[in-house]
Amino acid sequence: MTSTAARAGPPFEEHLKGTLAPGRLADLAVLSGDYLEAPDDELASLTSLMTVAGGRVVHRDPGFDADVPERLVR
């Protein structure tokens, strides 16, 4: 997993961005495989199972059955 804790964006958004924690905005992608371990010739075959931007699920593969609410931030 990669992280952006060192850069939360515009000033004064540190309480909302930069880490994955309850109450914070999340930008993340769940991939079909481990892109850090996949051989270079297999990277293009990885697919996005779910994408979250600003704490909202913006893409979910129909076959991905994780129990995740559409909005992750309350």
Query: Using one digit for the tens of pLDDT, what is the confidence trace for 47-71?
Result: 999 998 887 889 999 998 888 777 6
Residue 55 in any domain: the answer is yes
What is the value of pTM for the model shown? Answer: 0.65
pLDDT one-digit tens code per residue, 5-24: 555 556 677 777 777 777 77
Q: Give the sheet arrangement for strand 28-31, strand by strand.
A: 28-31, 48-53, 56-60
Residue 68 in any domain: the answer is no
Rg (CA), the chain: 14
Could you tell me if 33 and 4 are in contact, meaning their C-beta atoms sit under 8 angstroms apart?
no
Residue 42 in any domain: the answer is yes
Place of tokens 């994955």: 20
- Residue 46's pLDDT is 96
Q: Give Cα 61 to chain centroid, integer Å.
A: 14
Residue type at 48 in one-letter notation: S
Which position has the higher pLDDT, 74 or 67? 67
- Residue 32's pLDDT is 94
32: domain range? 28-60
